[in-house]
Chains A and B, each alone.
Chain A
């Protein structure tokens, strides 16, 4: 297990006051809140900060952490010494706000786990509809172009017979609706928590996110592709093939194209009413001068083509 430097995570000094820690947290929370931030790793950062703040905001936990962590650096292999937490009174209480089950193993080894259970007692004896549940689901961009069935694994904690929470996994085959995109929700009726008595089951809501793609980028319903072209294709124009999630298309590159030229294929983005657009951004790729012949050709261009790429810079 790796040691986590909570001070580094929060960007504060080890001797920061509680007020400084709070201010640092507030500032970072606004910057990395997943609903607000456009940073690609916002969600991870936000969770790490939440964990760090959970420890540092509480003078007791902070003192324990300081005592233990004085000789460690972030990323170092870490094993808490047995019985280290005796004399501190945080075990089994104090986690009223945060969902400690989402914290790291490191956190759990220090401050204990098992806080995940949020069992709702006292509901026996009458009927109640099951709770709706939410999960995030990662799909491929291509899945949204055609209605495919994907197997989705969901984990949830349940109270076992011994009264302790344990993780249960189940898999569902879900037909992904065509045209769904990042940030939208898919509802599966009756697949949420089971009801009590005569109450029906709740619904399951899946928040959709696209798995990062090797070459497509998605912006709402629009899809972007950076398409490499040879210098002669860009200069002279020509027909090239371009992949789209819906299949390969033929594209006409206008002569005199430069890197960065953006071309729109209307309606070839994520399907829907209206569908998104597909954008191709050209990038001129340079053939390597790795053979005698290639070198000679470059030499020839150098001799025969008067070209100063820096003319606009006045040099």
Chain B
């Protein structure tokens, strides 16, 4: 007997998804209070202002997980991890600009 093989459709979180507060907590294995702290710290920017129904951009997943890893592994506090995250993102943006500035034929 041939087993029916199932196929699952993957969705790109960063591009095709919005996450609710609950989604984000569950996906990152953190509690609501901690996510609220990240919003207060300015690490996360909810897409709407209505606190009851916060929605977050898909890229929030990566930011939350990065901040959590930085905190755990490097023993920095939330403000320090937030600062590191911002600097990392700035470095990435600068790298992209640098690459774009290199002479190039179309």
Contact = CB atoms under 8 A, between A and B. Distances in A.
B16 interface: yes
B91 to A, nearest CB: 9
Interface string A160-203: 00000000000011111101100111111101000000000011
Interface in A1-50: 26, 29-30, 33-36, 46
Interface in B61-77: 61-62, 66, 69-70, 73-75
Interface string B6-22: 11111111111100000
A180 B10 contact: yes
Interface stretch (B40-48, B49-57, B98-106): B98-106
A79 interface: no
Contacts of B105: 254, 261-264
Contacts of B39: none
A231 B27 CA distance: 54
B88 A36 contact: yes
Nearest to A36: B88
Contacts of A219: 95-96, 99
Contacts of B26: 129, 131-132, 202-203
Contact of A187 (B13, B73, B74, B75): B13
A29 B10 contact: no
Contacts, number: 100
A188 B7 CA distance: 10
A187 B17 contact: yes
A272 B15 contact: yes
Contact of A186 (B10, B62, B66): B10
Contacts of A222: 99
A35 B13 contact: no
A185 B61 contact: yes
Chain A interface residue bracket vs B: 35 or more
Contacts of A174: 7-8, 10
Nearest to B92: A220
Contact of A176 (B10, B27, B74, B103): B10
A279 interface: yes
Given A187-B13, A262-B104, A264-B106, A175 B8 contact: yes
Contacts of A46: 73
B78 interface: no
Nearest to B11: A187
Contacts of B95: 219
A156 interface: no
Interface string A243-287: 000000000001000000111101000001000000100000000
Contacts of B35: none
A70 B103 CA distance: 56
A186 B105 CA distance: 34
9 contacts: A33-B69, A173-B7, A174-B8, A177-B11, A185-B61, A185-B62, A186-B10, A186-B13, A188-B10
The 9 A-B residue pairs with the shortest CB-CB distance, nearest first, are A186-B10, A185-B13, A263-B105, A262-B104, A173-B7, A184-B14, A188-B8, A187-B11, A175-B9
Interface of B: 5-17, 26-27, 29, 61-62, 66, 69-70, 73-75, 84, 88, 95-96, 99, 102-106
